[in-house]
Amino acid sequence: MLSLFSVTTPSCSKQLSFDVLLETAIEAGRQAGAILQNYVRSGFRIEHKDRINLVTDADHAAEQCVIDRIRKQFPRHRFLAEERGRVERSPSPYLWVIDPLDGTTNFAHGYPAYCVSIGLEYEGRCVLGVVFDPSRNELFTATHGGGAYLNGQPIRVSSTSSLENSLLVTGFAYDIREAARNNLDHFVKFALKAQGLRRTGSAALDLCYVAAGRFDGFWEVSLNPWDMAAGSVMVREAGGQLTNFLGNDLSIYGQELVASNGHIHQAMLAVLNEGSSPMTT
């Protein structure tokens, strides 16, 4: 099931196969997930990054766990992790992009929709994703060219071909009260065009659910790289499409994202660009 496709690391002239990278990321994700569940049982401290943006002991502990586990195996690799930013001890083409707890607001309220998200960039391209949902014991994995899996079973995007029949999902950034682009306009439009619309509170899981055909499309206006890195590999490998609002290739550093089964992608872009100047693709 694992792809044996190998990539070369020029800096250390050593080949790393996806199996060892994936195995390490899976172990890190599962260990961090267990830490989150321990905090659910024992309780945790909540701090405010700002008015509505929370961080807990669990976020920090899970992040430490993921970085320690990966670094044990790959001491030269670089990291971009939500709570501590960039960690770069030496130059390396490998960059792990980590959200130790995606869905912190859900977690803090005891709403079981959160996950550990671990993506890997090789020379600036997302090539591997592991997302672990410890509440449902669901492990999503994907590697470049190797397909996407849920608990070891291959997953594909849905075949829904119209917005009318689509279940869509979105999210809102923590600056929703201040930002002019707060996504409420798009939310209203899609609510009137789709079969159903959800806001789950975990962007990484939203992407995995598009990959698994549970959602037909997902968009958001202000995401961070760690929200998108792992899930974007999942959607691509499950046969889906990923762009920005103009229809250009997704950059995980570009904030806005549209992910879909491909069939409804143009229709989603049309709604997102309603009222603005013609799209440049």
Q: What residues line the site for Ca ion (CB under 5 A)?
A: 82, 99, 101-102, 227
CB of 16 or CB of 242, closer to ligand IPD? 242
CB of 92 or CB of 200, closer to ligand IPD? 200
Partner from Ca ion, ligand IPD, none contacting 173, C-beta within 5 to 8 A by type = ligand IPD
As measured in angstroms, the least distance from the Cβ of 191 to ligand IPD is 16
Chain contacts with ligand IPD (rule: CB under 6 A): 99, 102-105, 171-173, 201-203, 220, 223, 227
As measured in angstroms, the least distance from the Cβ of 137 to ligand IPD is 20
What 3-state class would DSSP assign to 272? Answer: helix
Query: Which regions of 20-84 does DSSP assign to beta strands (E)?
Result: 46-48, 54-56, 78-81
As measured in angstroms, the least distance from the Cβ of 273 to Ca ion is 26
Residue nearest to ligand IPD (CB): 171
CB of 220 or CB of 256, closer to ligand IPD? 220
Q: What is the 3-state secondary structure (H, E, C) of 80-132?
A: EECCCEEECCCCCCEEEEEEEEECHHHHHHCCCCCEEEEEEEECCEEEEEEEE
Cα–Cα–Cα angle for 142, 57, 99, rounded to 5 degrees: 20
CB of 8 or CB of 53, closer to ligand IPD? 53
Rounded Cα distance, 196 and 193, in Å: 8
* Tokens (6 digits) for 233: 């590999």
Of 28, 114, 108, the closest CA to residue 63 belongs to: 28
As measured in angstroms, the least distance from the Cβ of 113 to ligand IPD is 9
